[in-house]
Every structure is written in C-alpha cells, then in structure tokens.
C-alpha cells in the first residue's frame, strides 16, 4: 500500500497551485484592437492623430505637422486632423498656413463642437495678425454659429468682447491717422514758410 500512497502524494504535489502556475503558458500581451471605422478599436486615422498629439506635446512640432498631414491623407474629409494640424502650424509660427488649414477644416466632416473650436481659433488668429476686419467678421461668424447651435459649448461673451475691442482699436488707429495727417500738414506748412522767409532774406540782402 505504501507505493500507492507515494503515487497519490506526487499527483497532489504536481497539482498544487504553485506548480500549476509554473507549468501554465505565460499570459499573452494585450493587443491593440484596430477598426477602420474606429468603433470596436482604434482606426489607423485616429492612431495618427493620437501620435501627432503626443508628438506635439513632446514639442516636436515638425514631427507633429508631418504626422497630422499623414492622417489627412488617410481621411481628407475629416475635420479633426485639420484642426490639429492648424494648431501645430500656428505653434511653428506659420500663421498663414494655419489660417488656410483651419479654413479648409470648416468644409470637412466633424461635430458641431469641433466646428465651434475651429471658428474660435480662426478669429483669434486673425486678431493676432491684426487683420481687424477679417477678425471682426470671424468673431461675428463664431457668435452666430453659437446662437444657431445652443447645445455647443462655446464662449459668446468672449466673441462680443473681442468685437468691441477690435472696434475700439480700429477707431484709435483712425484717430491717430488723422492726428498724423494734421502733424504732417503743419510740418509742411512750416517748411514752406521757412523756405519763403529764406527767399525774402536773400532779396533783402
């Protein structure tokens, strides 16, 4: 009976939790689920957008620009990559490129919230460039969009304030322009008067 007991003991030891774990296959690493439609997994397009955002945060602006451009090639009708590309171009100091990119974004597919963001950054960029009338028009377009889409989270008060500030700046520049004209006119009159006096002095000698 002793050999039988020994065999049973060996079987029990082999089935112990530690031995079962040791003999089990190692766990497989979690694979990234991919789905071209971006529903059951991440799409190649969104992978590039996420990669571009990470690159942007790492301050590799040229790399971010290149990555967002790759995403646009995959889905040229989607708004998101255009929006992100414009941000990277603005950060790189390519303001005209950013303006064109964001303008193009408005004709692409995206949520109303995203479109609101695009309108907001366009207005801010044009004001930064001191393009006063285009900036005012853009802020008014942003305000009108928010009014027509009340569910969109936006900043209507900011738009109203920026329009007032632009009007004030334009008026100041106009007033300053008039002052400069008057100063220039007075200088010209003084120079003319000085020239006439010089002629008189020559005649009197």
Q: Which residues of the chain have pLDDT under 50?
A: 1-24, 27
Q: What is the pLDDT of residue 132?
A: 97
DSSP notation for 134-189: HHHHHHHHHHHHHHH-TTS---HHHHHHHHHHHHHHHHHHHHHHHHHHHHHHHHHH
pTM (2 decimals)?
0.70
Q: What is the pLDDT of residue 150?
A: 95
Question: What is the gyration radius of the CA atoms in the chain, in angstroms?
Answer: 35
Q: What is the pLDDT of residue 1?
A: 47
**What is the four-CA torsion angle of 111, 117, 121, 123, rounded to 10 degrees?**
90
Q: What is the pLDDT of residue 16?
A: 46
Query: At a CB cut-off of 8 Å and minimum separation 6, what does 159 contact?
Result: 123, 139, 140, 142, 143, 146
Q: What is the pLDDT of residue 162?
A: 97
- The residue written with tokens 């366009």 in the block is 122
Q: What is the pLDDT of residue 174?
A: 86
């Amino acid at each position: 009976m002793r050999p039988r007991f020994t065999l049973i003991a060996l079987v029990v030891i082999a089935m112990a939790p530690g031995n079962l774990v040791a003999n089990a296959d190692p766990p497989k690493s979690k694979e990234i689920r991919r789905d071209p439609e971006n529903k059951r997994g991440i799409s190649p397009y969104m992978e590039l957008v996420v990669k571009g955002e990470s690159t942007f945060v790492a301050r590799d602006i040229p790399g971010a620009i290149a990555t967002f451009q790759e995403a646009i090639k995959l889905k040229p009708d989607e708004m998101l990559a255009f929006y992100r590309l414009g941000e990277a171009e603005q950060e790189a100091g390519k303001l005209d490129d950013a303006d064109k990119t964001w303008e193009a974004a408005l004709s692409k597919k995206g949520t109303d919230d995203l479109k609101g963001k695009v309108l907001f950054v366009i207005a801010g960029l044009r004001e930064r460039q001191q393009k006063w009338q285009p900036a005012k028009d853009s802020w008014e377009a942003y305000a009108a969009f928010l009014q027509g889409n009340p569910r969109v989270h936006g900043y209507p008060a900011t738009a109203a304030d920026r329009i007032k500030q632009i009007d004030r700046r334009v008026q100041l520049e106009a007033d300053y322009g008039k002052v400069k004209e008057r100063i220039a006119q007075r200088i010209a009159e003084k120079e003319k008067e000085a020239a006439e006096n010089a002629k008189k002095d020559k005649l009197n000698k």
